[in-house]
Amino acid sequence: MTRLTAVLLLLGTAVLVWLVLHIGPATLGAELQKLGLNLAWVLLPSVAMYLLEALGWRMTLGRHAQKIRFDRLFLIRMAGEAINFTTPAAYLGGEPMKAYLLSRYRIPLVDGLASVVTAKTVMTLAEVLFILMGIGLGLALLNRSSDVIGAAFGGVVILGFGAGLFLALQRRGLFVGLLRLLEGIGIRIEWLKTREAKLLALDEAISRFYAQDKAGFAYAFLFFFLGWAVESVEVYLILYFLGQPIDMMTAFALAALTVFVKGGTAFIPASLGGQEAGTLVLLVAFGYTEGVGIAFAIVRRLREIFWIAFGLLALTVENRRVYQADPCGRPPG
């Protein structure tokens, strides 16, 4: 863990502690007590959400999709996401791990990496649409200009531009292009240079998916979008069990905007503190009390912790499996 990461983590923890003390532990406890055993119901939408996201990823595997059972693919995805969430390396840790675990099912590492990159890209494009729809609903529901929603709109435009640019670069050869760029400015990384052929194969696999598997792209986008949309059911259930007035349009808008808040605080490890503060501001803007806002944020955090634990368990299970890997698909030693 770098010094900056440690500082951000400490600041995030301090913000979270301050929020709890500001609201009052008694007030927070009273709000959470309203949920009781209904917390189990709140977890159900996230089951559907992660299953849909695994289906979206499956659509990017092309001919390799039949090599692995869906339940195994689901476990691998949850294992990778747990690494993404718990390590400072973020996507540099969890995404390659997904491809490595796929290689145990005789899916070449290059094709596994290509599916990871394309799935993450399509998922981000679906996320942009989801947030844009949430912003539109939010403006209509509030019936006035909102600084929170205005900031979200500006941010999602930047996110959409970045995702579109990333997609365009993938179609033209992202990894070899990056290697050429580094060489052009005088940076030579020998480890990358010796693997230029594999980088070229990875670029070709990614480009082939976009050019030849348009149905796979469309289905992946649909499943990922539905996965994002299911979050609105979770929002509805949390606020309903907290005894708050809520309808599905409001739940959809809040779900989309909380996704944006989480993404905007991703520079903090696990978005700790930043996610809770942003969610609190958002719910207050929609007319809920601070107590409800922090209780809502804590419940979402508990859901994340549950699935992180599940993902780490899935990683342990997968690491204990012994498969005959494709020699061409072994990760570099």
Quick check: 283 and 254 in contact, CB under 8 A?
yes
pLDDT value for 325: 44
Contacts of 331 (CB under 8 A, 6+ apart): 96, 100, 103, 109
Q: What interhelical angle do 174-184 and 196-212 show, nearest 10?
A: 140
Nearest to 169 by CA among 179, 154, 184: 179
Distances (CA, A) of 220 to 94, 212, 217: 20, 14, 5
pLDDT value for 324: 43
Residues in the chain: 333
Amino acid occupying residue 1: M
Q: Parse the chain into domains and list their residue ranges.
A: 38-290+302-321
**Rounded CA gap, 208 and 253, in Å?**
36
Could you tell me where the beta strands, DSSP code E, fall in the chain?
none
Contacts of 137 (CB under 8 A, 6+ apart): 249, 250, 252, 253, 256
Quick check: 203 and 176 in contact, CB under 8 A?
yes
DSSP 8-state secondary structure symbol assigned to residue 264 = H
pLDDT value for 331: 42
**Rounded CA gap, 288 and 257, in Å?**
15
pLDDT value for 332: 40
Residue 287: both structure tokens together: 């007319």
Report how far Cα 213 is from the mean position of its chain's Cα atoms.
23
Kindly give the confidence (pLDDT) of every residue in the chain, 333 residues in length, as a single tens digit, with 9 standing for 90 and above. Answer: 577 777 888 888 898 889 888 888 888 888 888 888 888 899 999 999 999 999 999 999 999 999 999 999 999 999 999 988 877 555 567 888 999 999 989 999 999 999 999 999 999 999 989 988 888 888 888 765 556 666 666 667 777 777 777 777 777 777 777 777 777 777 767 766 777 788 888 888 898 899 899 999 999 999 999 999 999 999 999 999 999 999 999 999 999 999 988 877 777 777 788 889 989 999 998 999 999 999 999 999 999 999 999 999 999 988 877 544 444 444 443
Number of neighbouring beta carbons within 10 Å of residue 302: 14
**Rounded CA gap, 131 and 44, in Å?**
22
Reduce the DSSP state of residue 286 to 3 states and report it: coil
pLDDT value for 23: 87
